[in-house]
Amino acid sequence: MPGILALIGGGEFSDGCTFDRTLLDTAGTDEVLVMPTAAAFEHPQRLVEAAVEWFAPLGARAVGLDVLTRRDALDPANAERVRGARFLYLVGSSAMHVRSVLKDTPVWDALVDAWQDGTALAGSSAGGMVLTDPMVDPRGGAFTVGIGVIAPLAFVPHADTWSDEKLHRTQSLAPAATPVVGVPERTALLRAPDGTWSAEGAGEVRVWLHGEAADLSALAT
């Protein structure tokens, strides 16, 4: 059975992110493996340091795994590290970069295998976008090919910062029968191992299907 999945709207490792306690408890581990792939060009170590500081009071130890380039993603040692993790956390700002690094690599295969074997999997901002298919292109709100573990589902992080015009564009361009979820910062959309969905954190998750407002029951299982 797959592990718990969290699509986080950004603002991770900060007040209001109550869902991290839920993720730790469900994963049954005190170690979080943080992959800052999507922040490869924007001081990735800072995100790892933020994770270390955030998880320590929760009784957990965050450690980083620098899968920042395609060469890193092809490294069998990195793939083995990912496969053995019980809680994986993807963070960063460039969905296009993380897709180009991870697609069709041993590290991505290991991530999918680990999640399907029960590992908790969290992706914040761009780290969450790559976990769905189709993937929203944050530059204009249209769509591109994703490599996600959940489909069909389109994920809009930082939804509280998007204009109504941009959100409407994404809704109107969504492929038929593909739900679009808008998740604000410091908020998570959670998929339990049994396939049910819930939301937790500081904001309110919004769902659209066929351009109309919907509820969590419209999401893929």
pTM: 0.96
Query: Please, which pLDDT band fits residue 138 given cuts at 50, 70 and 90?
Result: confident
Q: Is the pLDDT of residue 221 over 80?
A: no
3-class SS at 155? strand
Does domain 5-218 fall under CATH 3.40.50.880? My reply is yes
Domain ranges within the chain, ordered by starting residue: 5-218
Query: Angle, nearest 10°, between helix axes 106-116 and 76-83?
Result: 10
pLDDT in tens, 16-73: 999 999 999 999 999 999 999 999 999 999 999 999 999 999 999 999 999 999 999 9
Share of the chain above pLDDT 90, in %: 86
Ramachandran assignment for 165, one of left (phi > 0), alpha (psi -120 to 50 degrees), beta (any other): alpha
pLDDT in tens, 146-186: 898 999 999 999 999 998 888 888 999 998 899 999 999 99
